[in-house]
A and B are shown apart, each in its own frame.
Chain A
Amino acid sequence: MQFLFRYANPHNFMRLSGAVLPFTAIGAALALIAGLYFAFSVPPDYQQGTTVKILFIHVPAAIMAMVAYSSIAVCSLLSLVWRHPLSDTAARACAPLGAMFTVMGLITGALWGKPMWGTYWVWDARLTSFLLLLFIYLGYMALWSAIEDEIKAARAAAILALVGAVNIPIIKFSVEWWNTLHQGETITTGKLAAVYVPALLTMMLAYFLLFLTLWMIRIRTAIVERRARNLMQGAAS
């Protein structure tokens, strides 16, 4: 906890993130190039044919959507319980990125579903709970914008984020708890053919590093905007 509070100081965060950012940005670009190379080099799957290539962008997007929401939930908890100084800013900065990954997951999933299932959409537990995640993201962002007092907005948004976090295990385990058209866990169970593993893992790394890069830049932007606001208020009073 001491570590978190040390780097929660905006000045320390700006210094640390400034040093880390070039590495995450370059790492994301390199991993993306390598991932795309692997993705377009693998042979067609014996069942899915060439549509297996959609999974290299669908799975990382879906995972990042859940990672982003989990990050918001952790930041919200830190904010509510320990009044962690940067956590509200970090949570708010994360939401649009998570919503974007959720939309990407939904669209790429639909484009995979049509040729494989014969439909773009079914109301099965995995797809429905994932759509619900998008609505939670939208509600979270709307709540931040709807309340003018930033402290009250942060508190309300943090409570919503923690309530919405219930949906994350539901998404994860929906394929085990209910009969779904969506296939079950394949990565950790070793059901994924070895030839596809490098492409999927590299794309997951690329998405994660890009998410981290954009999230840090968004937090830095929020800190700088707050400084500018304080300067303007100081000049006005």
Chain B
Amino acid sequence: MNFDMSPYGAFIWPAYGVSVLALSVATIWTVCAWRRAKAKLAALENK
């Protein structure tokens, strides 16, 4: 593997950074919403 991006590192790393950030946020958000919804349903069913 080669991590030397010169002379375009200033464009390549932000592009990968934005992609990793967007995919991570979407994954965490989706999983958290699922867990919240499941917990709410479980609480209502146990009432």
Report the Cα distance A225→B33, complex, angstroms.
10
Interchain residue pairs A-B with the least CB separation, the first 3: A111-B15, A224-B37, A108-B15
Picked from A97, A104, A221, the residue with its CB within 8 Å of the CB of B34 is A221
Chain A interface mostly: helix
Inter-subunit contact B2/A112 (CB<8 Å): no
- A-B contact list, 29 entries, CB within 8 Å: A40-B2, A41-B2, A50-B4, A50-B6, A51-B8, A53-B16, A57-B16, A61-B19, A96-B26, A97-B26, A100-B26, A104-B18, A104-B22, A107-B15, A108-B18, A111-B12, A115-B8, A115-B11, A210-B27, A214-B26, A214-B27, A217-B34, A224-B34, A224-B41, A227-B41, A231-B44, A232-B44, A235-B44, A235-B47
Interface residue tally for chain B (C-beta within 8 Å): 31
Chain B interface mostly: helix
Return the CB mask of A21-39 against B: 1 if under 8 Å, else 0.
0000000000000000100
Report the Cα distance A54→B3, complex, angstroms.
13
